[in-house]
Every structure is written in structure tokens, then in C-alpha cells.
Amino acid sequence: MEFEDFAPKLTMLLYGVIGFVVVVGGLLLLLDVVPNYFARRREAALVAASLSSSDAPAGQRVGRRVRKHREGLLGLAFLLPALLLLLIGLVIPAIRTIILSLFNGNSESFVGLDNYGWIFRENDIIRVLLNTAGWVVLVPLLATSVGLLYAVMVDRARFEAIAKSLIFLPMAISFVGAGIIWRFVYAYRGEGDQIGLLNWLWTSVGGEPRQWLNEGPLNTFLLIVVMVWIQAGFAMVILSAAIKAIPSDIVEAARLDGVTPWQMFWRVTLPSIRPALIVVVVTISIGTMKIFDIVRTMTNGNFDTNVVALEMYNQAFRYQQAGQGSALAVFLFILVIPIVIFQIRNLRRQREG
Amino acid sequence: MAVSSRPRQALVLATTLALALSAAACSSDDGGDSGSASSGDCAAYDAYTGNDGTTVSIYASIRDAEADLLEESWKKFEDCTGITIKYEGSGEFEAQLPVRVDGGNAPDIAFIPQPGLLKRFADAGKLKEASADTKTMAEGNYAKEWLDYATVGGKFYGAPMGSNVKSFVWYSPKLFAEKGWKVPTTWDEMMQLSDTIAGAGIKPWCAGIESGDATGWPATDWIEDVMLRDAGADVYDQWVEHSIPFNDPKVASAVDRVGKILKDEKYVNGGFGGVKSITTTSFQEAGTPILEDKCAMYRMASFYANQWPEGTKVAEDGDAFAFYLPPVDPAKGKPVLGGGEFTVAFADRPEVQKVQTYLASGEAANSRAKLGNWVSANKKLDIANVENPIDKLAVEILQDQSAVFRFDGSDLMPAAVGAGTFWKGMVDWINGKSTSEVLNQIEGSWPK
């Protein structure tokens, strides 16, 4: 293991780091300098305006209109990069995907809605849809309940910070990392010592070792557990913050009225944190619909555990069936839309209320 | 304003630091390179000179240590011709290459291990036909059946390079000698041996088909190997071209023959459990129980030599070695299943064609073989340059005139089957689905 063997790789790494520093540093600098420049000019203009305001009301009105116009331009300048990125990164690919979904595998002949028919015709794909539905129902439900329960229980308890960081830690692990960790938990050995935690527990209470990831539909549920393990921390943090934000006079008033802890939870806590609860459920739902990494790492969609996002990737990039892959992408997009609309409506209502 | 002063200081510091580090890295790079260019005899590379200072990019699936050896093998070519080869290996090669090509960012040369993918690029008009020089070189060095896999619509697109032989069964010479078992030379002998081994209280076979996102491929290799033996090379060709359906009785017969080994609890899966454990055992791990005498045989390609734990002696008198998977009917010849990568070009600049021609040459094959762990069907490959006993055996088989070579079928089929439903179908099949159910399903998924 000579250093020289690694030198070219380290150099590459270094270039990467330099590139990162230059780009991010440049952006930060830009974000710092540009608004400051405009702020200073505006200040100067305001000072000038206030000096000359006393004697010329008509001139001031004209000045204000010009300033308003200029500010509109400034706003546009700030919006432009975001709009451009949205166009290139989102709108154009979305339109292209929709077009591709109406063509065959190598995007040469038009097949109409045949690819969408294929989604509901193929037994394998129906299985994929059912699995995804299972994920979308169970993950938000379980993750949010676990997170909420935990948040309520550790609220104002001793060692609250430690208890919270314990459950929040999995959030820091990537889905792929979590998938690999949990694959070890579910690992199977036909004979000898079990190296998987679950099989070790199972055999130590007298069971025969089982291939957990091989048995449907239990295996889908076991994959869901991994997602819940990761997402419960997210739910817990948001909900815990919401619980802490409940005005103390409400809580005190309820206490004076002599509520039981049960009533406190259902009548006071839950209604007060409803907006936060919805945000959590919606965020987790959308994330779950797009679930890909855990399934790909742990079973690669074998043993009837496949989900829409993984099948979409396989069709489009591995099997070179661009049409069917795009159709699945569009279908996934359509599934997400209602949730997004619900979320936006909710946010708007909150702002008004 | 006051808020931002500290971050800005940090930024300046970071930038300076980064610049200083990069300068240091550059200087160390310069020091290492000088002096090596002028040494050595360049006579063998005269044909490739004349494009000094040009760069050719190569993209392939070969990574890490193997990629380093590859780059070392053409170092001299670079020094003598002045052509710089920029090599990039990727684990996502099969998925990324189409993305790069369709996006107008194709590499100059790619090493494509799937003739099916090669055909797709050729049909789409993305590939450049190989130059006359490359073609002459390839025809002199490789058998026709190899070149056919790189010929689409009468046009030849590039020579093969590295190869592997898949028709191998790994075993423990030590255990075989101890028990007095003989290496079988026919299929029936192999089945009798399996019974003998099972009678001795050892599981005769190991198997594992888990391989991340490619789970299932080792089982497809099993089927292909037996297809060649059970039905013959001609039927095999019809099968991969889809001129007979995937659920043809001939295919079912081959699959059932494999099933007599892989789906029999008596025979599998030593050290791991029952039949179903095959689906969750990785192919890398699957052969290792041979060293502990927990199973006796493992059908896997020549490249499995690199998977044995450090310190394992891979030789005919060592801890592990492989024998040629015997034919069902010896009268039908000696079928060999194998694979390899083809060097195809997406550009036709003179330097690209020169590199492509060089890679098809005997010099390139021998230069790479000398560095170890490498096999090629190149006829100019001198077997004395091949070090490992198993690589030697593989080269002997590849250069054997009586052998009937066929390329790995799943790499020839459309990706939707060859890298999709065929793999998945095999997983389901091991997991208990019937042969006919699985074959019907694969047939239904063949792209129209």
C-alpha cells in the first residue's frame, strides 16, 4: 500500500473538493454581494429622496413609479435563474417523458396509450402497484404514529435530548446504507451460527431459521419496517416541536378543568398540532411513493417486493423499454398530484387562518 | 454587512488552502511521470504512430484493480505512439452507456460485454464501422464465431478483447483425491458422482444466484450451458434469436435437466440450507463451502478464481480447481459457453481506429495476460504468458479447434429478457414456480 498508488485518486478527490469550494463559494459570494449592492443603492436613493421630498411632491410621485418599475426588474432578475432551472430541470423533462410514454421501447413508433394499458395488463406490474399501495398506506401511518407516540412520551422527560437523538439518528443514514444494515439483520444461514439478528432471536426462541426476505408478503412488510425506522425520527422531531409550541395557557386551562392524560392527548394536543401532523403525513407519503433505494438494495424487487419507482428505472434504463418506463413515471406523477394539491390547499388555508 | 465578514474570511482561507493543496498534488504527479517515456523498444508500435498528442477515451465496466492492470498493459502503447488513452470504468456501465450515447456524450471506444447492446447501437447508427486495419487484425486473431457476434447487417464493428469460459465446475481436488472420486467426463458420470457424494453425507452441489441488481444471472448461465449440451448449438442459436419460442419443449427439457440438480434438496445447497437458499446466497460466497468440504461442486465461470479467500491454492493439485462441465452426448462435440467484451468505436478519428486495431492485436493480448488474471480468445495469445493454471485451462479450451463456442445467451437476447425477465424468472423458478409457468411468462415478455 504505497502512497503513490493512491496519488492519482487523491488528486481526483482534491479536484472534486476544489470544484465544490469554487462553485459553492462563488454562489455564496454572489448571494452576499448582489443583494448588498442593491440594498446600498436603494438606501442611497431613499436618502436622496428624503432630502428632496419637502419641496417637490409631484417629482416624488414620478420617482416612486420609476423605483417600483426598477424593483420589478430586480425581482425578475432574481427569479430568472430559478425559472430557468425549473424549465430545464423539470418542465422540459416532464413533457419529454409524457411524449416518450406514448412511443414504443426504442421511441420510434407511436403506440398511443398502449404502454398505459400494459401497466394494468401485466400480472407482474399489478403486483408492483399493489406493493406500492401497501407502502403508501403503511409507512406514513406507522412512521407518524411511532413518531407521535415517542414525541408525546419523551416530552419534558429526563434525558429528553438524548432520547430524541437516539430515534433521530437513523435519519442521518442514507436509504442505501439502511438497506445494507437491515439486510444483515434479516440475513439467513441454513446451518451453523446465525449472523442475522432476527434469525438469531427467532432461533433462540426455538424457531427454524427463516429466509425472511424470500417469503411474501411478509418480506414487503419487513422492508417497510426499514423505512419506518428511518422516517419515525423525522416525524418525531417535527411533531415534538409542534407540541412544544402549544400555548401553555391552553394546557394550563385544560389542567385546571381536570382532564385525564388521555383527554389531554385527544382533545388538546392532537387538535393543536394538526397542521404539523398533516405536513408530516404528506411528506412521508410522497417520499414513500417514490421509494426505490431500500427495495433495490435489499431484494432488487425479487420475491414479489417490487415497487413502481424501481420498475420504472428497470424498464427505462436496464431493459431499454423507454416507453413502458416513461408510462410508469407518468403514472407515478399522477398518483402524487392529489397529495401535492391537498398539501398546497392546506398551506394556503393555514396562512389565511 | 457585519454578519457576513466571518464567513468570507473562512471562504478565503478555504480557497487558499485548496489552491496550495492542488499545487502540491500537481508537482508530485509531474515527478512520477518523467523518464519512463523514452525507455523500451517501440518497433512493435510503428504501425500505430503518427497521431502524437491525441487522446482517446474508453468507457467500460472494468473497474478498480482490473482497470489498473488494463491501463498498465497499454502504457507502452501510449509511450510509443504518443496517443493518450483516457480510461473510465463504471459499475453502472450498461445503464449509463445508452444515456451517454443518446445524450451526445459518447466515449470514443467502449468495451461492450453484451452483443445485444452492441446490436442496438449498431442498428441505431451510433457505432462506427471498424476500419479495414482493425478488421484484418481481428480476422487474423479471432475465430469467426467470435467475430459474428460483432457483425450486424454485414458490417463489422470491433474485435473481442478479454474473454471468459463459463463451462466450469469448481471442486476440491483434495477432497476428490481423499475419497477416490474421479472428475466426470460425461453428464451421466456427473450425476452418478452426485449420488455417490450425497451417499457420503456431503451435499454434492453448491449454488448461489444473488448478485445485487443482477440477481439471477448465474442460474441463466446454468440453463444456457445445459441448453448447449442438451439440444445442441443450432437449437441454442434459434433459442437466443427467438426463432423458437422461449417455452419450446426443447428449452423446457434443458431447464428440467438443470432442475434435477438445482431443485433437488438431496443435492443442494451445501453450507447454506435448502433449495430456496440459492436465491439469497451471493454467487461470490456460494463456492466457498467447497473449502470446508460442505459441498463438492460449484458450476461457475473461470473468473471465480479471483473469489477464493486469500491463501487458497487454485491448481489441479491445490485446494480448489475446476473441471470442464461435461457434455450430455459426447458425439455432439465439445460445447463451450463463454463471454467477453467487444471493443467498439463511436468515433472514427485515425487515433481511435489505431487504438481499436491495437486492442485486437496479439501484442495487446499478451501484454495484458502477462500481468495476470486474464483470458482471451485471441489466437496470438501465447499460453506461456498465462500464469494461473485455471486461466491456462480456459485458454486451452478457447483455442481448442474441436470446441463449439457459444456466447452467453442472456447477453444476446433483448435486455428486457436477457437482463430482465430471464433473471427474474430463474429466481421465481428456484423459489418454487414450475418450469412451464416461468417459461410462458418469459415468452410473454419478449419485446415485439
Q: How far is A349 from chain B (nearest CA, A)?
A: 35
Distance from CA of B162 to the nearest CA of A (A): 23
Closest chain B residue to A8 measured between Cα atoms?
B29
pLDDT lower than 50: segments of chain A? 1
Give the mean model confidence (pLDDT) for residues B85-112.
Answer: 90
* pLDDT at site B86: 95
Tell whether the model's pLDDT for residue B332 goes beyond 80. Answer: no
Best A1, A186, A198, A303 member to test B by mutation, with max B CBs in 10 Å, is A303
Minimum CA–CA partner of B420 in chain A: A319
Test the A interface: residue of B213, B220, B295 with most A CBs within 10 Å: B213
Chain B partners of A222 at a C-beta cutoff of 8 Å? none
Q: What is the ipTM of this complex?
A: 0.74
pLDDT surpassing 80 at residue B147: yes
- pLDDT for residue A65: 65
Mean pLDDT of B203-228: 92
The nearest CA of chain B is from the CA of A189 a distance in Å of 6
β-strand pairing of B55-60 with B84-89: parallel
Judged by DSSP in three states, A72 sits in: helix
Least confident of A69-83, A93-107, B141-155, B261-275: A69-83
Q: Which residues contact A333 (CB under 8 A, 6 or more apart)?
A: A94
A278-330 per-position pLDDT tens digit: 889 999 998 999 899 999 999 888 888 999 999 999 998 888 888 999 999 99
Do B416 and A191 count as a contact with CB atoms less than 8 A apart? no
The pLDDT mean for chain B works out to 87
Percent of chain B residues topping a pLDDT of 90: 62
Is A318 in contact with B95 (Cβ distance < 8 A)? yes
- Adjacent-strand bridge partners of B324: B168
Whether A269 and A152 have beta carbons less than 8 Å apart is answered as yes
Q: What is the mean pLDDT of residues B152-161?
A: 94
Side chain identity, residue B383: I
The pLDDT value given to residue B402 = 83
Instruction: Name every residue in B having a CB less than 8 A away from some CB of A.
Output: 1, 4, 7-8, 11, 14-15, 18-19, 21-22, 25-26, 28-29, 32, 94-95, 98-99, 120, 124, 212-213, 215-216, 269, 271-274, 276-277, 279-280, 414-416, 419-420, 424, 427, 431, 441, 447
B chain contacts of residue A4, beta-carbon cutoff 8 Å: 32
Q: Is the distance from CB of B156 to CB of B165 less than 8 angstroms? A: no
SS3 sequence, chain B?
Answer: CHHHHHHHHHHHHHHHHHHHHHHHHHHHHHHHHCCCCCCCCCHHHHHHCCCCCCEEEEEECCCHHHHHHHHHHCHHHHHHHCCEEEEEECCCHHHHHHHHHHCCCCCCEEEECCHHHHHHHHHCCCCECCCHHHHHHHHHHCCHHHHHCCEECCEECCCEEEEEECCEEEECHHHHHHHCCCCCCCHHHHHHHHHHHHHCCCEEECCCCECHHHCCHHHHHHHHHHHHHHCCHHHHHHHHHCCCCCCCHHHHHHHHHHHHHHCCCCCCCCCCCCCCHHHHCEHHHHCHHHHHCCEEEEECCHHHHHHCCCCCCECCCCCEEEEECCCCCHHHCEEEEEEEEEEEECCCCHHHHHHHHHHCCHHHHHHHHCCCCCCECCCCCCHHHCCCHHHHHHHHHHHCCCEEEEECHHHCCCHHHHHHHHHHHHHHHHCCCCHHHHHHHHHHHCCC
More confident residue, B22 or B149: B149
Distance (Å) from the alpha carbon of A237 to chain B's nearest alpha carbon: 29
What's the pLDDT score for residue A195?
A: 86
- Of B15, B32, B415, nearest to A21 by CB-CB distance is B15
Q: What is the dihedral of CA B381, B383, B384, B386, to 10 degrees?
A: 90
Q: Which residues of A touch B14 (CB under 8 A)?
A: 21, 25
B-chain residues near A303 (CB < 8 A)? 279, 427, 431
Count, residues in chain B: 448
Q: Compute the distance between CA of residue B378 and CA of residue B373 in angstroms, rounded to an integer.
A: 15
Give the CA count within 13 Å in the CB-facing half-sphere of B23. 6
pLDDT at B32 over 70: no
Q: Which residues from B are below 8 Å from A191, CB to CB?
A: 271-273
Task: Give the pLDDT confidence score for residue B369 in this predicted structure.
Answer: 92
Q: Which residues of A touch B15 (CB under 8 A)?
A: 21-22, 25
Q: Which residues of B touch A10 (CB under 8 A)?
A: 25
Percent of chain B with pLDDT over 70: 91
- Tell me what pLDDT residue B12 has: 44
Give CA–CA dist A10/B48, Å, rounded: 32
Q: Kindly determine whether residue B21 and residue A14, on different chains, have CB atoms separated by under 8 Å.
A: yes
- For residue B78, count other CB atoms closer than 10 A to its CB: 16
Name the residue with cell 426504442: A106
Is B416 close to A190, i.e. CB distance below 8 A?
Answer: no
Q: Which residue of A has its CA nearest to B212?
A: A300
Given this model, what pLDDT does residue B178 score?
A: 92
Chain B residue numbers with beta carbons less than 8 Å from the beta carbon of A301 are: 424
- Predicted local confidence at residue A61, as pLDDT: 57
Q: What is the DSSP letter of A159?
A: T
State the pTM of this model: 0.78
Chain-chain contact of B279 with A11 (C-beta, under 8 angstroms): no
Residue A320 CA neighbour count, 13 Å, CB half:
24
Interface of A with B (CB under 8 A): 4, 7-8, 10-11, 14-15, 17-18, 21-22, 25, 28-29, 32, 36, 105-106, 124, 188-191, 209, 211, 213-214, 296, 300-303, 314-315, 317-321
Question: Which residue of A18, A103, A219, A306 is the best one to mutate when testing the B interface, meaning the one whose CB has the most B CBs within 10 A?
Answer: A18
Verify whether the Cβ–Cβ distance B98 to A320 is below 8 Å: yes
